[in-house]
Every structure is written in C-alpha cells, then in structure tokens.
C-alpha cells in the first residue's frame, strides 16, 4: 500500500539541492523504534531509496545526545560498516517531553532543531515526516504539539501513526476525532508494520498468480488453517505494552487478522489498496462472533526458558494480562464454511498456566 508521503515523494524533485527531507522519530528510544523503525530507514538508505537530503531526528525523554543515540543504534543496523557510519551521521537526537499542560511550546526545541537543519542546507523546499513510535494514549497531545510547533512552512508535513489505534471502538473514535481536527486525511498515514513484511506482501501474489492453487484453496481440500505467532523472549521492558494493549488487542486484532484476511479473501478486482481492502472487509463481515468456548488464555510462569511475566519489574503487580492466547474463528461463506481458522499467540517461553 502506497502512503500519501510516498506519493508526494514521487512528485518531488529530490535532485534539487534546495529540497530537504527531515524524518522525526518520536519515541526513538522505545522498542519499536530500535527494532523496526531505524533498521527500516537504514535498509532504505542502504538500497538508495532515501533522498540524499534526508536527515533523521530522534525525539524522546531519555538523557541522550547525538553521539550516545548513534551508539545505541549501531548494533541494530545490519550492513557494511562504512554504510552504517554514513547513515548514523544523518541521525540526531532532541530531548524533550511529549506533553506538558504548563507549556505551550512543548515541541519548540524539536521545531527549532529541524528548522536549523533546513536553514543550514539553504532549503527552499523543506518537507517533514513525523513517525509516532509511541503509545496511542499520547497521540492527541503529540499531534497537537506537532501542529503548534513543527509544521513545515515551505513543504509538506506528514504524520505516521502505528496501530493499535485505541483500546476499543470508543477510544479509537476519540483518537481519530482529535487528530482529524489537527490534520487533513492527506497529512495522515495509519500503518500496520506487519503488512510490510515480505511474506505478508507475497501472500496475495502467491495465491492468485499460481493458477493451480485456485481449485484447491477452499473447504473441500483444507481441513483447518493455523496462524501462529511465536516470540521466544520475555517482556524486555514492555510491561506497559502487554498490560494496556498486549497480544489480543494488538497482535491478534491487528497483525493476525490482517494475515487471516489475506489468506481467506476472494481475488480482488486489482492489486490496488482499495480493492484489496474491500475484499478484506468481506471476510471480516463473515466471521462469526467469538465465544468464550473457542478461546484459551494463559500467563507464563518461571521456567528454564525465562522468568515469569509477573516477575518483570515493568509489569504491574497482580496483572491478569494474558501472554498466551488461542482462538478459533469461523468464516461463514461458501469458500470456508466448516473450516476452523485457529489463531494462536505465544509471546513468551513454552510453559504457562491460566491467569489467576
């Protein structure tokens, strides 16, 4: 799926020395930024898909500077040493808060830093992308601060938000409404990074480009479909994520349902994002409501593979958040009726017991 930012980038003459692109990674010291965002940006740089004018500014509350951020990122970037060093020289750090009711210019320092880069490059066309590698709970104040202090004055501004977008329908609509009052749809891009995985992107091509699969991909030839997510390590400081969002609201509801839809959907009219989305929606509308009889939950205890979930210092005492979940979904349509879709998440080592 091509983003608004990507479409605008295609129209921009990046060979013009007066054009500058600054990418701000908000929450740059978090798990998502270190594991996904910066390595992805480096991969783009390594394959010459980033314009030469690109700079990356990390923003967080941690007591770091440009040098210490680069050292933190170095081991996460896989590639030739000279290329890693060249990319890191484009990475900078700005420390600050995400919200402060006593201040109006919370992002004033970030806005000033970005403007300084643009001025130093004599940019006549300066574009800015803000990637929010942050909990959804801080999206509204962060977006408000971007709008007040960091909007591009001579180019376009884009804001990229990650799922999960809220905890439920009510909070999702509240988040959407708050951000929509600050930015137009053209300025917003909502993403699920799982859709960027090579295997995920190849599913559609594999299914519909191989003609021999078409007569086999149905209830007459498939007894069940299993979609299994396994993460062989513990919380690693992500107790807040697991307790507030976790494997059901995030991994199952977002990542794995996307995979289920790609596996189960009918052939779209074209490979355009809108046509693929329409076929996914048809699958979701055919899924029967989930009952407790078709769900199993668990929470990991001490074992040879790792410490118990509740022993992690970032996990609230007495948390009942599951770290293992299994559910059986039924798609009531002609192709899949009677075929159970088994969705399973194992976010920790093997042993588990039901939550207390």
Q: Is 193 a catalytic residue?
A: no
What is each CA distance from 341 to 3, 258, 345, in whole angstroms?
31, 13, 13
In 3-state terms, what secondary structure has residue 284? helix
Note every long-range contact of 35-43, with CB atoms under 8 Å and residues 24 or more positions apart, other chains counting.
Answer: 35/76, 36/133, 36/193, 37/131, 37/133, 38/73, 38/76, 38/77, 38/91, 39/76, 39/77, 39/78, 40/196, 41/87, 42/77, 42/79, 42/84, 42/87
Strands 54-60 and 91-95: parallel
SS3 (DSSP) at 160? strand
Catalytic residue among 10, 193, 255, 351: 255
Listed residue (212, 225, 325, 223) closest to 265, CA to CA = 225
Give the tokens for residue 199.
């295997």
- 3-class DSSP assignment, residue 313: coil
Closest CA to 33 of 62, 8, 3: 62
- Inter-residue contact 178 to 137 (CB < 8 Å): no
Q: Give Cβ neighbours of residue 279 (< 8 Å, ≥ 6 apart).
A: 261, 265, 266, 267, 268
Active site residues: 255
């Amino acid at each position: 799926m091509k983003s608004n930012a990507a479409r605008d980038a295609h129209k921009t003459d990046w060979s013009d020395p007066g054009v500058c692109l600054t990418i701000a990674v908000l929450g740059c010291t978090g798990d998502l930024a270190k594991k996904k965002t910066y390595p992805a940006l480096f991969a783009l740089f390594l394959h010459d898909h980033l314009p030469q004018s690109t700079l990356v500014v990390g923003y967080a509350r941690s007591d770091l500077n440009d040098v210490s951020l680069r050292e933190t990122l170095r081991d996460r970037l896989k590639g030739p040493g000279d290329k890693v060093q060249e990319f890191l020289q484009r990475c900078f750090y700005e420390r600050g808060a995400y919200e402060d009711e006593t201040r109006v210019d919370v992002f004033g320092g970030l806005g000033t830093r970005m403007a300084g880069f643009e001025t130093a490059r004599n940019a006549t066309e300066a574009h800015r992308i803000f990637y929010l590698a942050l909990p959804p709970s801080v999206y509204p104040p962060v977006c408000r601060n971007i709008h007040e202090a960091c909007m591009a004055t001579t180019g376009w501004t884009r804001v990229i938000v990650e799922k999960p977008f809220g905890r439920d329908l009510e909070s999702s609509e509240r988040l959407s409404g708050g951000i929509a009052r600050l930015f137009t749809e053209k300025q917003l891009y909502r993403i699920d990074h799982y859709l960027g995985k090579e295997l995920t992107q190849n599913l559609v091509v594999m299914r519909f480009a191989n003609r021999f699969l078409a007569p086999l991909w149905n209830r007459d030839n498939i007894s069940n479909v299993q979609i299994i997510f396994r993460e062989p390590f513990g919380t690693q400081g992500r107790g807040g994520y697991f307790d507030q969002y976790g494997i059901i609201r995030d991994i199952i509801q977002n990542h794995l349902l996307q995979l289920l839809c790609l596996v189960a959907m009918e052939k779209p009219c074209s490979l355009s994002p809108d046509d693929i989305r329409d076929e996914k929606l048809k699958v979701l509308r055919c899924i029967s409501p989930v009952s407790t009889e078709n769900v199993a939950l668990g929470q990991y205890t001490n074992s040879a593979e790792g410490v118990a979930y509740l022993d992690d210092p970032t996990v609230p005492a007495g948390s009942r958040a599951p770290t293992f979940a299994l559910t059986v979904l039924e798609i009531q349509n002609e192709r899949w009726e009677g075929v159970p879709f088994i969705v399973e998440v194992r976010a920790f080592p093997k042993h588990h017991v039901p939550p207390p």
